[in-house]
């Protein structure tokens, strides 16, 4: 019933927007495997389907055709409840930080732990604080997002994605809203922390400056995976 040991195993995944004659396929017969602890970058022109692929893996959309096993859950035919459960084991990082403006950085990070009934408030705050230390902004833990710089906010978002010790990190252009330097710092931080925790990362990006963090770079075009090459980090 469960997939293999690989965190992500896609076989023949297809996806189309619209139905009937108006159906517009965006993914065709995609096979993709991400191994334990592997950092995979997904690149390609816009409209190539990479973001749709990311939302399918993140259980944010229902799989239409093919088989998709993520963290041991077969997503084809999974219920909404199972998908919500799965999302709790995935760390998401978006283009925008999407932090809650009325919470401090620490409280934002702790939100990722509040769904876990096994944690106490004290434990959540301590873990959130420690994770903010790890991303290098421990001293700003009690500031609201409005008082942080763009790079700092994205670091909080990284901390929020990692604090729940997820089985997988999905990131969508995390550097898009950042300048070159802070963008590079944030993804390297993400890579280092993920490596330390052994968490695989699937990262969609246009940004050629960050290709060097990948174990493997996968290119997509027109809904298909066109090329997979070993990244700079895998040498």
Partner 1 sequence: MNVLTRTPSAPPPDGELLPWAPERTGGAPPQPPPSGREGPARRTTSFRPLRSLLLPLRLAWRQLRAEKARLASAIAGVMFACVLVFMQLGFRSALFDSATALLQSMRADVFLMHPLTTASFKPETFPRARASQALALPEVQAAVPVYLAQASWRNPENGARRAVQLIGFDTEAGVMDFPGLAPLVDALKRPDAVAFDRRSRPEFGDVAKLLAERGPFEAQIGNRLMEVVGLVEIGPSFGADGNVVLSEVNFRRLVKERQVSAIDLAAIKLRPGADVEAAKRRLAELLPRDVIVLSQPELVAWERRYWEEATPIGFIFAFGSLMGLVVGMVIVYQILFSDIASHLREYATLKAMGYSNWYLGRAVLSAALILAVLGFLPGFGLSFFLYGAVGEATFLPLNMDLERGVGVFLMIFAMCALAGLLAMRKLRDANPADMF
Q: CA distances (Å), 225 to each of 26, 158, 229, in order?
A: 12, 27, 11
Q: Which residues are paired to 70 by β-bridges?
A: 8, 73
- Compute the least distance from the CB of residue 206 to partner 1, in Å: 13
Which backbone phi and psi does 49 adopt, to 5 degrees? 100, 5
Q: Residue 45's CB: how many other CB atoms inside 10 A?
A: 11
- Compute the least distance from the CB of residue 209 to partner 1, in Å: 20
Give 30-48 as a DSSP string.
EEEEE-TT-EEEEE--TTS
Nearer to partner 1, 21 or 101 (CB): 101
Nearer to partner 1, 65 or 229 (CB): 65
- Compute the least distance from the CB of residue 37 to partner 1, in Å: 6
- Compute the least distance from the CB of residue 193 to partner 1, in Å: 11
Nearer to partner 1, 196 or 209 (CB): 196
Residues binding partner 1 (CB under 8 A): 1-2, 5, 7, 36-37, 51, 54-55, 58, 60-61, 71-73, 82, 84-90, 92, 94-96, 98-103, 107, 111-112, 114-118, 160, 165, 167, 172, 196-198, 204
Helix or strand holding residue 131 (H, E) = helix 121-134
- Compute the least distance from the CB of residue 212 to partner 1, in Å: 20
Q: Residue 68's CB: how many other CB atoms inside 10 A?
A: 24
Nearer to partner 1, 92 or 140 (CB): 92
What's 156's DSSP letter? H
Nearer to partner 1, 19 or 21 (CB): 19
3 state DSSP class of 94: coil
């Amino acid at each position: 019933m469960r997939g293999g040991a690989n965190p992500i195993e896609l076989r023949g995944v297809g996806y189309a927007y619209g139905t009937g004659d108006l159906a517009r396929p965006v993914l065709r017969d995609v096979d993709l495997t991400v191994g334990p602890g592997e950092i995979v970058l997904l690149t390609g022109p816009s409209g190539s389907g990479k973001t749709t692929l990311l939302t399918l893996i993140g259980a944010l959309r229902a799989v239409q055709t093919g088989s998709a096993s993520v963290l041991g859950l077969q997503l084809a035919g999974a219920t909404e409840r199972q998908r919500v459960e799965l999302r709790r084991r995935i760390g998401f990082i978006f283009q925008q930080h999407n932090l809650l403006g009325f919470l401090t950085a620490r409280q934002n990070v702790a939100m990722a732990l509040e769904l876990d009934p096994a944690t106490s408030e004290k434990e959540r705050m301590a873990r959130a604080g420690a994770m903010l230390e790890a991303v290098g902004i421990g001293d700003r833990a009690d500031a609201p997002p409005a008082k942080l710089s763009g790079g700092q906010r994205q670091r909080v978002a990284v901390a929020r994605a990692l604090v729940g010790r997820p089985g997988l990190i999905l990131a969508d252009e995390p550097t898009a809203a950042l300048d070159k330097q802070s963008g590079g710092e944030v993804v390297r931080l993400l890579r280092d922390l993920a490596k330390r925790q052994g968490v695989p990362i699937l990262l969609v990006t246009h940004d050629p400056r960050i290709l060097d963090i990948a174990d493997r770079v996968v290119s997509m075009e027109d809904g298909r995976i066109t090329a997979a090459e070993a990244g700079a980090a895998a040498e």
